[in-house]
Amino acid sequence: MTLSIRDVAFILAFGMAAAGAARADDLATYSLTLKNHRFTPTEIHVPSGKPFFIIVTNQDDTADEFEMSNPAIEKVIPPGDQGKVRMRPLGPGRFPFFGDFHRETAQGVIVSE
């Protein structure tokens, strides 16, 4: 059986897409809860150089926005709902996050080490 260049390209593309999906499922996942306009936990420790997910559960009666300045991320989480944020690999350091609608109380930090 002889494969055309188009067949080989399709097989490679499909294989790479499947491998990428499998790797995304294997990413570490960290949970944050927003209640009384405060995040719990207020500090998440992650390994440097590895992508990960953050699941934000909003237990408040109002929407809020999970936000970071560096890297720039904004994700509105409706009341009683969850949001999933995929984070790119971070270098070592501290990366603050906050609830944009309640900045004075909804604060935390991701520590990449």
Domains of the chain, residue spans: 28-112
- Report residue 74: phi and psi, to 5°: -140, 125
Q: Which residues contact 69 (CB under 8 A, 6 or more apart)?
A: 96
For residues 14 and 90, the model is more confident at 90
CATH superfamily of the domain spanning 28-112 = Cupredoxins -  blue copper proteins (2.60.40.420)
Residues 44-78 pLDDT 10s = 999 999 999 999 999 999 999 999 999 999 999 99
Give the whole-number percent of the chain exceeding pLDDT 70: 78
pTM of the model: 0.76
Asked if 104 contacts 112 with a C-beta cutoff of 8 angstroms, the reply is no
